[in-house]
Amino acid sequence: MNPKTARLRVRRGIADEPARYDEFAVPFEDGATVLDALIWIRVHRDPSLAIRYSCINANVCKECTIAIDGRVLYACTTRLVADKTMVLAPLPGKVRLRDLVAETRPPRERTP
C-alpha cells in the first residue's frame, strides 16, 4: 500500500512581493498537524520556508497562528488531512514579513 500524503499550498515571498504559492507533498501520519508538516518541509524540502512558532506542541505560545483554507487557526492544533490540499497563508490584516510570518510583534517590541 502506498503511504498516504497530505498536500500544502503555501504562500511564499518577502514583504509585499507578488503572491506566489509553492506546493509540497508531505508524508501523512495519523494525528499529525499542519505545524508538523511545516517543520518536515523545512528539514526535507526547503529550509528557507519562514514560519513562526515557539512551544511546538503545547498550544500556549500562540505564535503559529496562520490562515488555513481561509480560516485563522493554530498550525499546531490543526490536523493534516490525507489526500487533500490545504492552502496556507500568513495572518490576514497584518503586515507580511515573509512566507507565513506576519508582523505580530507589539510595536514597542520591534527593533528601531
Partner 1 sequence: MTHLDTDVLIVGAGGAGMYAAISAAREGAQRVLLLDKSLVGRGGATIMAQMTVAAALAEESDDDWTRHLDDTLASGRGLCDEALAAILCEEAPIRIREMGGWRVGWARRDTGRIAQVTAPGHSRPRCCYVDFLNTGPAVAATLRRQVSRIDAIRRLSNLTVTDLVTADGAVVGAIALDTAAGLPVTIAAKATIIATGGLTRIYQRNSASANMGGDGYALALMAGARLVDMEFVQFFPIGHLAPRLVGMDPIMWDPFRYKLGGRLLDGAGEEFLARYGSDESDAYTTPRDIATHAIVSEVAAGRGSPHGGVFLSFEHVPAIELRAAFGPVIERLAQNGIDLARSTVEVSPIAHYHMGGIAVDERMASELPGLFAAGEAVGGANGANRLSGNAISEALVFGARAGASAATAKPVSRWHDGAAAEAVDRIRALADGRNGDECATVLLDELRALMGEAVGPLRDAEGLRYALARLGEMRAALPSLAIAAGRECNASLADWFELRASLVAAEAVTRAALARRESRGAHQRTDFPDADAALARRQSVAMDRNGAIAASFGR
Q: Which x/- pattern over 41-70 shows residues binding partner 1 (rule: CB under 8 A)?
A: -xx---xxxxx-xxxxxxxxxxx-------
The least CB distance from residue 96 to partner 1, in Å, is 10
Q: What angle do CA 53, 57, 58 make, to 5 degrees?
A: 100
Beta bridge partners of 87: 9
d(Cα 53, Cα 102) in Å, to the nearest integer?
A: 12
Asked if 85 is part of the footprint of partner 1 (rule: CB under 8 A), the reply reads: no
Compare residues 55 and 72 and give the one whose CB is closer to partner 1: 55
d(Cα 80, Cα 10) in Å, to the nearest integer?
A: 14
The least CB distance from residue 51 to partner 1, in Å, is 7
Q: Which positions touch partner 1 (CB under 8 A)?
A: 14-15, 29-33, 42-43, 47-51, 53-63, 74, 76-77, 79, 97-99, 101, 103-106, 108-112
